[in-house]
Structures are given as structure tokens and as C-alpha cells.
Amino acid sequence: MKGLHTFLSYVLWPIFIVSSLMALKVLWDSGVDPELATFYVYVGFFLVLLVTEFLLPYKKAWLKNIDGQTPVDLTLTVLYFVANGIAMVFILKVLVWAIDNYQALVSLNIWPTEWPMWAQLIIGIIVTDLGNNMAHRMAHEVPVLWRFHAVHHSAPRLSVINTGRFHPVDVIQSMIVGAPIPFFLGAPSDVIIWYSAINAYLGIMTHSNIDFRCGIFNYIFNTPNVHRWHHSRLISEGNNNYGEVTILWDRFFGTYLYPDSEGRAPPVNVGTETKVPKTLLGLLLRPLSIKGYSKEDETLSELPATAE
């Protein structure tokens, strides 16, 4: 069984991402609305990862309600699915409409539309991830934005059930900063849709409690192995790896951190020590208070209960 576990750990990450995109393409080609198809696959993929967590966990302790936040996490994730699903469909439709009707008037029109779609998608991933990297970094380094982003980082474990642990203001900020670059460069709507799907599917994998071993992909993509360091309790480690799909901009800006390559074990105790309300209402309202969340409130103590 150990040999099978190791084999699956190495092959499942690329299999999952390729199969999810193939499922999207099948739905798309069969006539399903592209925006709805993206969401349908997203929900199905979430359920597959949820089951896989129990079959191939990264940390068994993370399967338990160690932080007492499972009800809140589930509620936020359900709300996130509903809100994000609506937003995903709505925003993609708005972007497609804007591209079709107004992009030619305001964009630089320098996008290589004559190139094959796969080549355009590579460019789309790189330039769109620049905006998302900037938005994510701002959420960590601008105090007024951190008070909202801290909700996401407050969980002391990673799991698909807290993938949607985001404050609505944090989500809106990310969209406002991250979305404009490809639009103003003249990217076609197909590129935007494909990027959105890849970003969504990789995103729920990066937060999953699955023993993925991503090998060479760790130096190119935002894999679970790399992203766990972003959730490290140490601020000096957590303020790295801001990429959403790729990690290339982090390598360029000097914010790439992957000590696993040096034989150092990844963090087990993740999240901040910021005192976070245990209730859903408290989580949503605390960032709006005068105090909010501050990185100065955080400590770097360990929580042995999460070790295994």
C-alpha cells in the first residue's frame, strides 16, 4: 500500500488538472455555456478532492475539526461557491461582453490573436498572473487589505473545506487589481475563460489536504507543495509565493520560497496566530472594526496538536 500511496502522490496532481480541463472542453464542445461549464466542473472537482483527502491525506490531523472552525469553514465555502459561482458566471459574461464591444476602443490591441490558442493561453497565464500576483502581495503588505485577507490565513490547517475562507472584500480587491491587464492588452475572451478555469481548478488543489508530490512542477506552478509555505505561521515565510497559477513572477520578484528542495520539511502548523472570532458573523465584521487584524498581533508559537 505504501508503494501505491507514493505512486499516486506523484501522478495525481497532473492527472487531476488535465482531466478537469478535458472535462471542461467536452462540456464546452457539447454546447454547454462556457461560463456555466467552468462552474460545473469546479463543483465536481471539489467533490473529487474532498474524497481524495480521506484516501490520501497530507496530514491526518487536518481531517479533524482541530480548530473548531469546520462549521464556519463549510458555511463560508458554501457561500463562496454560491457567490463565486454567480460571480464567475456573471464576471466572465461581463468580460466577454466588454471584450466583444469595447475592448477595441480602449485596449492597446497588441495581443497576438493570429497565434495558436495554446500559445495565446501561455501568454494569458503569464500576464494575468502578474495582476493576480500584485493583488495578492498587496493583500499581505497593505495593512488595510491584510485585515480582510487575514480571514483566509487564520485557519491552522489546509483543506478543500476552507478553500472558500475569504472575506468578500478580499475577493473584490483581487478581481479589481488582477483582471484589467489582459483586457487592456487585447486578450480574446477564450483566453480569459481558459485562464479563469485553470486558476479555479489549481486553486482548490493548492489548499487541499492531499499528499501531492509535484516534483518539477513546483518550480513553475503554484502547487500545494509550494503554497503550503505561503500559509506558514512564520511571517517571513508566509510573505512569499503570491502566484495564483504560476510561480514565475515570484521567481522574478524574489518572493519565491521552496525550502523543500533543500530537504527542509514543509510547515505543519499553518495560519496566523491573530485572534480571530470563532463565529461566521464575527469573521466577517471584525475586519470592518477599528482594530481589525494586524500582523503585529501575531505570534510565532507552535501548535503541536496539528503535527500529525
The single-letter DSSP state of residue 231 is T
Q: Which three cell numbers stand for residue 70?
A: 469546520
Q: Which three cell numbers stand for residue 202?
A: 489549481
pLDDT, tens only, 203-242 = 899 999 999 999 999 999 999 999 999 988 888 888 999 9
The yes-or-no verdict on residue 45 having pLDDT over 80 is yes
Mean pLDDT of the chain: 80
Q: Which three cell numbers stand for residue 33?
A: 455555456
Residues whose CB falls within 8 Å of the CB of residue 71, separated by 6 or more in sequence, listed in order = none
> What is the pLDDT, as a whole number, of residue 221?
96
Collect contacts of 135-144 with beta carbons under 8 A, ≥24 apart. 135/173, 135/174, 135/176, 135/177, 135/178, 136/174, 136/242, 136/243, 136/244, 137/242, 137/255, 138/173, 138/177, 139/170, 139/173, 139/174, 140/238, 140/239, 140/242, 141/239, 143/294, 143/295, 144/292
* pTM of the complete model: 0.81
Distance CA 244, CA 263 (A): 24
The values of phi and psi at residue 10, to 5°, are: -85, -30
The yes-or-no verdict on residue 105 having pLDDT over 80 is no
pLDDT, tens only, 111-155 = 888 899 999 999 999 999 999 999 999 999 988 888 888 888 887
Say which residue, 60 or 292, is predicted with more confidence. Answer: 60
Distance CA 208, CA 162 (A): 9
Taking the CA atoms of residue 275, residue 269, residue 159 and residue 61 in that order, the dihedral angle to the nearest 10 degrees is -110
